[in-house]
Structure 1
Amino acid sequence: MSKIYAVANQKGGVGKTTTCVNLAASLVATKKRVLLVDLDPQGNATMGSGIDKNDLELSVYDLMTGALVIRDALVRSESGGYWVVPANGDLTAAEVEMLSAANKERRLREVLAPARDDFDYILIDCPPSLNMLTVNALAACDGVIIPMQCEYYALEGLSALVNTINQIKQVLNPALQIEGILRTMYDPRNSLTNDVSTQLTDYFGDRLYRTCVPRNVRLAEAPSFGQPALAYDRQSKGAIAYLALAGEIIRRNEAAAKQVEEA
């Protein structure tokens, strides 16, 4: 049974898509079977995986509107080694169509269910807003990975997201939890970065990942080549950071599974 993680933050430009693409490739590098679901109409995770969003015959739109089953929507990322349910601008129409649909908040949960046994990890790249697509992702996942910059406004946005997660937990997904907070574009020379880091540690404790993703030119360049950083420049600091994050996530899951066995 796979672990499903939504990578979410309603603030744009914090590294959600970068995290999805590079974490997927890093998990594959550790011999895990990975599916990336692009739930953002901008289709950046699709393009960053080397798949042309403008040339799609089928996409997550068809999946969400019930036109096909998930196995027919899968496209392989040759550069990353994982599978993708791709997205493009059509997904905006799906959100409108879903507004009048029955059980609209659980649509993604239903369509992902048949794939859970085929993958070790399913990552959902959420749009930069708390809309119906994000609600679907939060209703479908086991946990939320929140990438954020260590800035003042990011802290303000984080509190709104935590409130939304708590509401979804009460109404739609009792098992939902914050899996981890990931510090992105991290610069330890900046005093504000260190102040925000301290606040995150105080509030979230061990849910704050030890791994920090630094500002890295190679990490920023990789998407324009349709590749994760691991394929573009394996030795870059960005690629190494996401490999470390994958290892941290796997170790957490193994420790949690061991606790369940011993209980």
Structure 2
Amino acid sequence: MTTPVIVMCNQKGGVGKTTTTFHLLDAVRRQRHDIRVLAVDLDPQGNLSTILSRGTRDSADACLADALSDRSSCSLIDVVNETIWPNVHLAPTSPDTEALAYVRDELVLAGAGRERRLRDALDPLLPAYDLVLMDCPPSLDLLTINALVAARSAVVVSQSALFSANGLVRLRRTIDAVKRSYNPELHLRGAIINLHERNTIAGREQLAEIASTIELVGDPIPKRVVLKDASEAQTSLLDWGTTDARNLAALYRNTAALLMGDPNNATS
């Protein structure tokens, strides 16, 4: 069975990609006790690495930038670490935000195969995992292109807001171009709507607009402070303890089941 490799993407910042990735990882790991998951942090800001890592990260530690750079002999397996959760591993970004940004610039000048560098690094690790989930930078640069070439599925994380809806058109063109030129296996799975304000007219209208152009994966995730607070505290929503947090955890559980193709764990 082919390991699902899913990329979480949107060229617009502030839509909650990292927070969504964090809570989905928690939901996936709870589906069954023996699941093995790899998270890949492709954002130079390294926020996913910060909230998933155990202990303090050091800029001297091997990181994803080393696995992607021609200037390093590190393979991806050399940089993968354990995280705050059992059976969830992480290919982290360095605390030095310039490290991965430098590799991004290196890729611009690289020759043939630059778009496949992550896929070539990731392929040998796939038999060891049941899922790979990648968090992308808020741009359509060569780091995001590498993620799309390595992925089997692309999931757009979007707000139900005007500029987020408009940005979907450009992102879909990029995904289509990557599919045609580099990765015919790539499938646009749909969109996870985050930070949704269902009590506003604009939120409802933009949700309908997005739903008319792309499949929605799971129910919209409402705008709640606890989502960011829990992730920054490195805490599962179920462990946060409030009724609101538990209800949000159920939304992520349903979305994760849909992404993993397990209808028995998804509710309508």
For normalisation by structure 1, the TM-score amounts to 0.89
Counterpart for residue 246 of structure 1: 256
Once residues 176 and 253 of structure 1 are traced to their aligned partners in structure 2, the CA distance between those partners, rounded to angstroms, is: 22
Once residues 198 and 232 of structure 1 are traced to their aligned partners in structure 2, the CA distance between those partners, rounded to angstroms, is: 32
Counterpart for residue 90 of structure 2: 84
* Structure number with higher helix proportion: 1
**Paired residues of 1:80 and 1:231 also in contact (CA < 8 A):** no
Query: SS where residue 108 of structure 1 aligns?
Result: helix
Q: Which moved more, 1:232-241 or 1:83-92?
A: 232-241
Query: Is 2:236 the counterpart of 1:220?
Result: no
Query: SS where residue 38 of structure 2 aligns?
Result: strand
2:66 maps to a residue whose letter is: D
Question: What does 1:187-198 align with in structure 2 at a 5 Å threshold?
Answer: 187-198=197-208
Alpha carbons of 1:138 and 1:101: their partners in 2 closer, same or farther (altered >3 Å)?
A: same
Question: Residue 98 of structure 1: CA displacement?
Answer: 2.1
Q: Deviations over 1:126-169 (max 9, x none)?
A: 00011110010011101111111101111111111011111111
Query: Is 2:161 the counterpart of 1:151?
Result: yes
Aligned-pair RMSD on alpha carbons?
Answer: 2.0
Counterpart for residue 6 of structure 2: 5
Question: What does 1:1-263 align with in structure 2 at a 5 Å threshold?
Answer: 1-31=2-32, 32-51=35-54, 52-54=56-58, 57-65=61-69, 67-79=73-85, 81-88=87-94, 89=97, 90-102=99-111, 103-204=113-214, 207-233=215-241, 236=245, 237-251=247-261
1:114 maps to a residue whose letter is: P
Gaps of 5+ in 2: none
Divergent runs of 4+, >6 A:
none
Question: Residue 249 of structure 1: CA displacement?
Answer: 1.7
**Paired residues of 1:186 and 1:215 also in contact (CA < 8 A):** yes
Q: Deviations over 1:94-133 (max 9, x none)?
A: 1122223331110000000011111111011000011110
Query: SS where residue 210 of structure 1 aligns?
Result: coil
Question: Residue 233 of structure 1: CA displacement?
Answer: 4.3
Give the paired residue count: 252
Query: SS where residue 65 of structure 2 aligns?
Result: helix
Percent identity (aligned): 28
Alpha carbons of 1:234 and 1:127: their partners in 2 closer, same or farther (altered >3 Å)?
A: farther
Question: Residue 232 of structure 1: CA displacement?
Answer: 3.9
Alpha carbons of 1:4 and 1:183: their partners in 2 closer, same or farther (altered >3 Å)?
A: same
2:15 maps to a residue whose letter is: V
